[in-house]
A and B are shown apart, each in its own frame.
Chain A
Amino acid sequence: MRPPDGRRALDVADTEASLLARAQAGDVTAFERLSGAYADRLFMLLLRLLGDRAEAEDVAQEVMLRAWQGITRFRGQSSYFTWLYRIAVNEANRALEKRARRPPGVALGADELQLPAPAALDPSRQAENSELRRALGRALADLPPPLRTAIVLRDVEGLSTQEAAEIAGIGEAAFKSRLHQARLRVRAAIGDEALASTGG
């Protein structure tokens, strides 16, 4: 059974450090176990950034390939998770740039950006929540990629500002500025009345 944060549990003997050492020595199975701990979460991030399941699946494979090819260069200056997420954000941006060069008509699928429904809410709250999820999905899909990355990393993923900025590859001050702009745009898109129903 996987822990609730989406990481697949590692065996006690397979600590991250020992798996990393084996992976850096060329053991692809150790690499899979190491990176597999973050696979679900990483895939969810790609879904949110790309809004297209098929593209997210393709980019997820590319992320793991790049990570495998670069594993010997990982020096532990950040956590492995941060390093892997940074590769994912870079690959998602690369895919979005490629998409922008394609002829128009390939729209970002707002449905993919909708957030999963929480359990155990009464029906009226569920309806409100589901409407809010749709609105959030649409608003996130409409953001320019750098702003979407900021709000997904910080608010949806719940990463610290420092970690999110590192993954986005920018300084903390620049990251905060992007996050601020993203929140203002999403607020404007959703409307204060809808937000007031969240109880937050």
Chain B
Amino acid sequence: MRVPGRTDDHEWSQQHLSHYVEGDLTLRARRRLDHHARDCADCGRGIRALRALVYATRSLGGLAGVRAPETIFDRARSAGAG
């Protein structure tokens, strides 16, 4: 929750949370967001949530049991033979 009257750049930080988690910000921008998030529960929670989301999708994203169908080359084969 944004504290009324706060003079930091909350909106800018919210727009850059994903880039922050990606490690895509310049050092200066990263420091700016770090500085803001230190006092902003909303942005701190946002960083933790996005990190957890990336972790969840990546760690659960294996290929267990999924195989391409045997028919995958049928059309290419037909075209190749034609």
- How far, in Å, is A147 (CB) from chain B's closest CB? 12
Chain B contact-residue range equals 35 or more
Q: Write out the residue numbers on chain B whose beta carbons fall within 8 Å of the beta carbon of A64.
A: 72-73, 75-76
Q: Which residues of B contact A68 (CB under 8 A)?
A: 76, 79-80
Of A35, A41, A65, A190, which is within 8 A of B63 by CB?
A41
Q: How far is the CA of A40 from the CA of B64 in the complex (A)?
A: 10
Residues 11-53 of chain A, each 1 if its beta carbon lies under 8 Å from chain B, else 0: 0000000000000001010011001100111111001000000
Binding site for A on B (CB under 8 A): 15, 17-19, 22, 24, 45, 48-69, 71-77, 79-81
Chain A positions near chain B (C-beta within 8 angstroms): 4-6, 26, 28, 31-32, 35-36, 39-44, 47, 57, 60-62, 64-65, 67-69, 115-119, 129, 132-133, 136, 151, 155-158, 161, 176, 179-180, 183-184, 186-187, 190, 192, 195-196, 198-200
